[in-house]
Amino acid sequence: MNPRWLSIDDMQRKPRPDILTLGNQVAVSARLSLLGLLSKPTYIEGTAVFVCLGGTIEGTINNQPYRIEKNTVLIVFSGDLVKIDRTADLEGYGAMMSNDFLDELDISFAQRAAFFANMRANSLSHVGDEVIEQFRPFYHLVLQILRSDASEKEEIVKGLVYAYCHRIFALGRSQASSGKKLMLTRNQEIFHNFITLVVKHSSQEHSVAFYAQEMGLSPKYLSYAVKTFSQRGALDWINEHVMLQARFMLRSTDMTVKEIAFALNFPTQSAFGKFFRQKQGVGPKEYRYNS
C-alpha cells in the first residue's frame, strides 16, 4: 500500500468536530484525535506536536517502532512517514502546523535547524508534570481562540504558536544537554556542521558544492548524508535560508528589490525574481506589497 500525504488542507476539506483549524495553517485537537488520521502509513506535510497525558500509543515513524506513554511529547517533522498501530485510553493534545505557517512566523533558522537536529535522533521526549502543566494552558487558549470569533484570530494564534514553539525549543535544548550527545551519528554531525555553515554563508553562497568543499566532503556525499538524516536535500536547506533572508528584507527593510538581489549575491535582479517566484509563488514586489 502506498503511503498517502496528510496536510492541514485535507483536514479542512473533511472537517471533523474534534479538530479545529485556522485556514490551512494550523490544526489543533484536544483529544489527540489527530492521531486517528494516521492509522495508515502517512507522510506528514507540516510539523506535528503531540502531548500525551495518559494512555499509550504504539506505531512507527520512518519505519522505526515507538511507544508513547504518559508525559511524552512527540514531534513529527515534515516528510516523516508515520503509522499508528494501537492506541489505548489515550488522553492528550495534538497540533499540526503547515510549513508555510512556520516560515511566516520568522522563527530564526538556526534555532529551527538546531532543534530539528536535537529532536531528529530522538523525536520522543519524556517530560515532567510541571512541563505538562505549562503546555496545558497553551492548548486550552488556542482551542478557545479557534472557536471564538475574535477579529484578530490569526494574529492571536500566531503569537501563541510563536511562544509555544520557543517553549518547545527549550525542551529540545535540555534534551540535547542531557547526555544524549553521545548518540551523535556521523550523519547528524555532518548535518549540524552543514547547518552552521549555511547560516553563516548562505547570503553569499547558494551551491551545495561550496559547502561540501568547506567541509572537505564530496557534494554527493554531503547531499546523501543531509538527506538521510533530515529527509530533505542540502539544496532545500540552503534555499530555505536564502528565502528567509529575502522575505525578511522585503518585509522589514526599505531596500529595493535590486539591492536585495545583490545583498543575496544573485547575478541579476531577474535571477532573484525568478528564484523568489519559484519558491514563494509570487514575485518579490508583489510579496512586499501584500505583506
Residues in contact with another protein by CB under 8 A are 107, 130-131, 133-134, 137-138, 140-141, 144-145, 148-153, 155-167, 169-170, 173, 251-252, 289, 291
**Smallest gap from residue 140 Cβ to another protein (A):** 6
CA distances to 48, 59, 78, 106, 208 from 99, rounded to whole Å, are: 10, 24, 8, 12, 23
| Closer residue to another protein, CB minimum distance, 19 or 145 | 145
36 class by beta-carbon count within 10 Å (0-12 exposed, 13-18 middle, 19+ buried): middle
Instruction: Report the C-alpha gap between 91 and 246 in whole angstroms.
Output: 42
| Closer residue to another protein, CB minimum distance, 147 or 220 | 147
Q: Look at residue 136 and give its three-state secondary structure.
A: helix
**Smallest gap from residue 21 Cβ to another protein (A):** 18
143 Cβ contact partners less than 8 Å away, ≥ 6 residues apart = 20, 28, 30
CA 14 to chain centre: 23
The grid cell for 137 is 494552558
| Closer residue to another protein, CB minimum distance, 159 or 281 | 159
Helices and strands (H, E) in the chain, number of each type: 12, 9
**Smallest gap from residue 139 Cβ to another protein (A):** 10
**Smallest gap from residue 155 Cβ to another protein (A):** 4
Q: Look at residue 134 and give its three-state secondary structure.
A: helix
| Closer residue to another protein, CB minimum distance, 58 or 106 | 106
**Smallest gap from residue 141 Cβ to another protein (A):** 4
Which position has the grid cell 556542521? 193
Question: 194, 222 in Cβ contact below 8 A?
Answer: yes
**Smallest gap from residue 199 Cβ to another protein (A):** 17
186 Cβ contact partners less than 8 Å away, ≥ 6 residues apart = 225
The grid cell for 72 is 511524552
**Smallest gap from residue 99 Cβ to another protein (A):** 19
| Closer residue to another protein, CB minimum distance, 255 or 271 | 255
| Closer residue to another protein, CB minimum distance, 89 or 130 | 130
| Closer residue to another protein, CB minimum distance, 174 or 231 | 174
Ramachandran sector of residue 188 (left: φ over 0; alpha: ψ -120 to 50; beta: rest): alpha
**Smallest gap from residue 192 Cβ to another protein (A):** 18
Q: Which amino acid is at 262?
A: F
Instruction: Report the C-alpha gap between 172 and 195 in whole angstroms.
Output: 17
| Closer residue to another protein, CB minimum distance, 83 or 153 | 153
